[in-house]
Amino acid sequence: MPNNRGSKRAFGSIRKLPSGRFQARYLGPDGRQYAAKRSNGDPLTFDTKGDAEGWLSLRHSEVLRGEWLPAPKPTVTFAAYAGSWLAARELAPRTRELYRRLLTNHIEPRFGTVALGAITKSDVRAWHAGLTCGRTAKSHAYQLLRTICGTAVVDDLIPSNPCQIRGAGSTKRARKVTVATATEVATLAAAMPSRFRLMVLLAAYAGPRFGEMAELRRGDIDATNGVLRIRRGVVRVTGARLVKGPKSDAGVRDVVIPPHVMPAVRAHLSEHTQPGRDGLLFPAASGVQLNESTFRRHWYAARTKASRPDLRFHDLRHTANMAAAAAGADLPTLMARMGHSSTGAALVYLHTAAEQDRAVAERMSELATGTANVVPIKSKRRRKSG
């Protein structure tokens, strides 16, 4: 039987292949393994062990004389590498769609045909300065380019990451959210078609996201105990509906619905929900999950009636979280209602509630010390029964 084990040598190793030919390889000064290859890059094997030893001796002498050069790295375009990078990652469908869109619309038009190793820092700065998309898309495009190039560094395809623009990958909230008041929420709900009114109330007092509400089923509502069970959400990916679980385990949650919303819940279950436990709570006219674009048309009209043209529907989630914090929810409770696994977002609401509580306390002191302008409340006299 042929001996397939590599022979021990001071420099390199030789292996006899099942075909009877010999393969030679060695560890280069750069720490990489090199096997004998032809000039076109195809593997090179030898008729005899002596021929393989001769090839290794030539390579060893090149190393000793300082004439050894590493094999040139294969030239790969950014588009080719980005494609393989994207294919190798486990991503949520909408994230994959976002990355593909960023590559197609913003990154590959400039770098797609460029060799990965030829992209320079100045190229990236010029590209970033010339992007005409919105602030968020610009930041996301830069983040994606930086991440892909970072992986290329790890893969030893480029020596360093050319994405070195300080702060280019950070996103700041472009608008300040002013939460809706209870009166505004009531006005918004009343202005919506009856089949959508509960969506407004649940968003403002229980805080589910639109995609979570669009996938709610009759069985997800415990009308006896007033509990909303959030287990799934629906998203649109390349025009198709995709039902999936929440982003994290914390997204699977039970949210207690405030009692004053429960009459609307029961009325909606009776009048607008599809029959059976799996019946959609907020079905579209066609019977499938509601599209956000359909809902948005009515929402725009309602927020105009409420004199809140600035209010996005997602802002009602902030309203719900702020109300829960103001009502005394502690950090774990607030995180559970929000469906968040990290404390960062919940602490924002708790901090804001604490500031409001301080303002209330200061106002109480002003009233107690007589330094505030107090408008007396006129009490109604009881009529004496005749």
Task: Extract the tokens encoding 337.
Answer: 């209602």
The answer to whether residue 340 is catalytic is yes
Residues belonging to the chain: 386
Residues 322, 353: Cα–Cα separation, whole Å = 7
Instruction: Print the domain residue range for 134.
Output: 78-154
Active-site choice (25, 232, 253, 317):
317
Task: Extract the tokens encoding 324.
Answer: 């829960």
Q: What is the DSSP letter of 149?
A: H
Active-site choice (100, 101, 125, 209):
209
Contact 190, 182 (CB under 8 A): no
Alpha helices in the chain (DSSP H): 49-65, 78-87, 93-102, 108-111, 121-130, 135-154, 182-191, 197-205, 210-214, 262-271, 292-305, 315-326, 331-338, 344-369
Number of domains composing the chain: 3
Q: Does residue 26 lie within any of the structural domains?
A: yes
Q: Does residue 377 lie within any of the structural domains?
A: no
pTM assigned to the model? 0.58
Residues 156, 150: Cα–Cα separation, whole Å = 10
Q: Does residue 161 lie within any of the structural domains?
A: no
Q: Does residue 277 lie within any of the structural domains?
A: yes
Task: Extract the tokens encoding 311.
Answer: 């209010």
- Regarding whether 201 and 146 lie in a shared domain, the answer is no
Q: Does residue 127 lie within any of the structural domains?
A: yes
The answer to whether residue 317 is catalytic is yes
Q: What is the DSSP letter of 105?
A: I
The answer to whether residue 232 is catalytic is no
- What are the beta bridge partners of residue 243? 234
Active-site choice (314, 351, 358, 363):
314
Amino acid at 241: R
Terminal Cα distance for the chain, rounded:
123
- What are the beta bridge partners of residue 364? none
Residue entry with tokens 């309203």: 319
Domain CATH code at residue 195: 1.10.443.10
Q: At what angle do helices 292-305 and 182-191 cross, to 10 degrees?
A: 120
Active-site choice (110, 140, 268, 340):
340
Q: Does residue 312 lie within any of the structural domains?
A: yes
- pLDDT tens across the length of the chain (386 residues): 444 444 456 899 999 998 999 999 999 888 888 889 887 667 899 999 999 999 999 999 999 998 888 776 667 899 999 999 999 998 888 889 999 999 999 999 999 999 998 999 999 999 999 999 988 899 999 999 999 999 998 887 888 899 999 988 776 655 577 889 999 999 999 999 999 999 999 999 998 999 999 999 999 999 999 999 999 988 877 777 888 877 666 778 888 899 999 999 999 999 999 999 999 999 999 999 999 999 999 999 999 999 999 999 999 988 888 888 777 777 777 777 777 666 666 566 555 655 555 554 555 556 666 655 544 444 444 444 44
